[in-house]
């Protein structure tokens, strides 16, 4: 987990988070609403005075105490950058980035020219400050970091150090086959760190407790994007996915503390973005009544090689819809009711294909999603609107060669599997069998 300035980005939070080790960009400068006094370290270690000042505030706000004293060290900016770059260039990370890039390109969430790994590297080079490393249990701050940002940087990363003494951050980061669940846990870690950082700050703390204060702070974070040229130029899905762990996570933490003691949060993490986004999916009188996603297992494709397989969940499903519909309300409506999903990117000689199966609460939810997804795909490929008969359960879109894409075939269908309505989506290069993945062989379970 790392703090970089100045945006709230996590390269392992949604939608990229949950794919490799945590590296984050956090908007600190725009939240520094007042001046920062000069501090002279006392005691041992760099920034000892800042640590001594922050620790009791953090323990008070989280209702937890440090089991062992936190460690803080300084590193050269080059050393910090080298560490972060290593996370992006490992064989595992490169494979995950390649798969995610393929999915983004096929779904039209990013242009075919996007090099996702290079984009993330530019983001880091633009904004790095420091990080907490759960492997060494040390908080590292880059030498020469802005004095105005140090109190917030140290506080944020100290929260991660405390979290790591109660939950195993490394374990959360390593579980990558369910990105929705992993990203939701990541959102709590980052959201709690941001929320605590704001509460501990003498300027933002009082504002946060005022009516509408959180909304104002959230707007400040979002508005700060314009000052970051690399971040501002990134595709919308990348920007929103990287902001979600902080803004979505902090908003959940804010609601949590209104209902339950904050010290209970780390022992009862949400397991899906649906639980984070919807109170009725998590805050139930009986935990057994919570919405728990069903697992979806895709059968092996009849051709090609699966280069990535993972879950979207409600939040990323929204991103898929809003990218082309350009309507936040429609996207929220279309993604609500999702009860589990899995997608796969498949590499073929003709090009990459994406298969995606999603389970829904009701047949109405499934039909609504299929209609909106069909509209989104039509807009994505600039196809004329077709008139489908009411209640149609299968659609096929034959996409001719376009300026930015080869000929494609897209099929959508609503089916019943294991007593649940399922929407199956397949986007392939033209000429590839529409039974590349047989939806009859989908497995739905707990």
Residues 11, 17, 23, 29, CA torsion sign: positive
CA distance 64 to 123: 34
DSSP helix, strand, coil percent of the chain (3-state; round to 5): 45, 20, 35
Rg (CA), the chain: 22
Supply the DSSP symbol for 224.
G
Q: How confident is the model at residue 222, as a pLDDT?
A: 83
Q: How confident is the model at residue 173, as a pLDDT?
A: 64
Asked if 415 and 393 touch (Cβ cutoff 8 Å), the reply is: yes
Residue 23 has pLDDT above 70, yes or no: no
Residues 175-231 have pLDDT tens digits of 678 999 999 999 999 999 999 999 988 888 889 888 889 999 998 888 876 778 888
CA distance 202 to 308: 45
| First-to-final CA distance of the chain | 30
CA distance 411 to 430: 11
CA distance 403 to 361: 38
- Model confidence band, residue 42 (pLDDT cutoffs 50, 70, 90): very low
Buried b or exposed e, range 183-207, using 16+ CB within 10 angstroms: bbbbbbbbbbbbbbbbbbbeebeeb
**3-state secondary structure (DSSP) of residue 145:** coil
In the numeric block, which tokens belong to residue 420?
């649940």
Residues 164-190 have pLDDT tens digits of 999 887 667 666 789 999 999 999 999
Residues 148-162 have pLDDT tens digits of 888 888 999 999 999
Q: Mean pLDDT across the chain, nearest whole number?
A: 86
Residue 289 has pLDDT above 50, yes or no: yes
Residues 359-394 have pLDDT tens digits of 999 999 999 999 999 999 999 999 987 777 766 899
Global pTM value: 0.89
CA distance 227 to 238: 17
């Amino acid at each position: 987990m790392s703090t970089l300035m100045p945006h709230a980005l996590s390269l392992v939070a949604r939608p990229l988070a949950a794919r490799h080790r945590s590296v984050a960009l956090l908007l600190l400068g725009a939240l520094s609403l007042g001046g920062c006094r000069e501090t002279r370290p006392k005691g041992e270690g760099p920034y000892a005075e800042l640590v001594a000042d922050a620790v009791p505030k953090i323990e008070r706000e989280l209702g937890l105490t440090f089991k062992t004293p936190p460690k803080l060290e300084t590193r050269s900016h080059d050393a910090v950058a080298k560490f972060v770059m290593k996370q992006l260039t490992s064989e595992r990370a490169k494979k995950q980035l390649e798969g995610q890039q393929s999915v983004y390109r096929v779904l039209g969430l990013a242009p075919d020219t996007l090099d996702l790994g290079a984009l993330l590297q530019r983001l880091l080079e633009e904004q790095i400050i420091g990080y907490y490393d759960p492997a060494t249990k040390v908080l590292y701050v880059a030498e020469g970091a802005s004095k105005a940002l140090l109190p917030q940087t140290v506080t944020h990363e100290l929260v991660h150090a405390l979290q790591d003494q109660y939950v195993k951050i490394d374990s959360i980061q390593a579980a990558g086959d369910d990105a929705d669940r992993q990203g939701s846990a990541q959102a709590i870690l980052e959201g709690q760190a941001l929320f605590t950082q704001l509460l501990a700050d003498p300027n933002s703390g009082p504002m946060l407790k005022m009516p509408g204060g959180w909304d104002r702070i959230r707007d400040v974070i979002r508005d700060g994007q314009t000052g970051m040229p690399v971040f501002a130029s990134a595709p919308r899905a990348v920007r929103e996915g990287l902001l979600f762990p902080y803004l979505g996570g902090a908003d959940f933490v804010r609601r949590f503390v209104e209902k339950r003691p904050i010290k209970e949060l780390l022992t009862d993490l949400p397991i899906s973005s649906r639980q984070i986004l919807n109170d009725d999916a998590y805050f139930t009188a009986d935990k057994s009544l919570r919405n728990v996603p069903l697992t979806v297992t895709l059968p092996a494709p009849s051709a090609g090689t699966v280069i990535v397989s993972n879950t979207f969940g409600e939040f990323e499903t929204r991103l898929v819809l809003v990218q082309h519909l350009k309507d936040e309300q429609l996207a929220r409506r279309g993604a609500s009711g999702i009860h589990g999903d899995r997608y796969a990117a498949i590499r073929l000689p003709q090009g990459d294909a994406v298969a995606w199966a999603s389970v829904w609460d009701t047949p109405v939810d499934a039909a609504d999603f299929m209609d909106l997804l069909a509209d989104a795909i039509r807009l994505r490929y600039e196809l004329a609107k077709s008139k489908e008969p009411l209640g149609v359960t299968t659609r096929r879109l034959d996409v001719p060669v376009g300026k930015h894409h080869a000929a494609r075939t897209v099929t959508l269908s609503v089916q019943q599997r294991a007593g649940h309505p399922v929407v199956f989506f397949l986007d392939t290069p033209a000429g590839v069998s529409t039974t590349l993945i047989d939806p009859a062989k989908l497995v739905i379970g707990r």
